[in-house]
Amino acid sequence: MKILLNQDELDAGVERLAREINETYGNRPLTIVGVLTGSFILMADLIRKLEMPLRVGVVQTSSYEGTERGALSINSEMMLDIAGRDVILIDDIFDTGNTLQEVTQLMKNLGPNSLKSAVLLLKTGRQEVDWVPEFVAFDIPDEFVVGYGLDFNDEYRNLPYLACLEPADLPNTDS
């Protein structure tokens, strides 16, 4: 694997995100909703740097099998009541944008006072939607990445850095 962002660079990016969110919201109470499973490390690191009163919840989505995008499933049973609240939806990566757009629409229907999104990564050139998250830590090239919560077949989430999977890292599919 080729390291794209090391641990210090990731820490600095999370610090930048927190600073932007702190400046935007000040002391206003905020509800953070993390998209599982990929955002859990980002969310844990980010909320410790936020200075306003917080509520934290999650929504679970799934759309990948290996490196291929499949049908999106959304499980919002663990999400907090967000009606009348200022909310930031936290996700690991903005790739095509389809997942975040669908989750955002679901959340808008629940009546938040305001709803913004924050992502660790925006993958350049992959977007299929007409908007981008309000808060982005890093723009990255169009490569499949793992680490810092992102996975390949449920592996590599624990890496403290972000790495690009190379062909030699993928299982042999020539059978």
Query: Where in the sequence numbering do the catalytic residues fall?
Result: 95
- Helix/strand/coil (H/E/C) assignment for every residue in 128-151: CCCCCCCEEEEEECCCCEEECCEC
* Distance set, CA 129 to CA 106, 141, 158 (Å): 16, 18, 30
162: nearest Cα among 37, 19, 35, 41: 41
Cα 120 from chain centre: 6
Tell me whether the omega of the peptide bond preceding residue 37 falls within 30 degrees of 0, making it cis.
Answer: yes
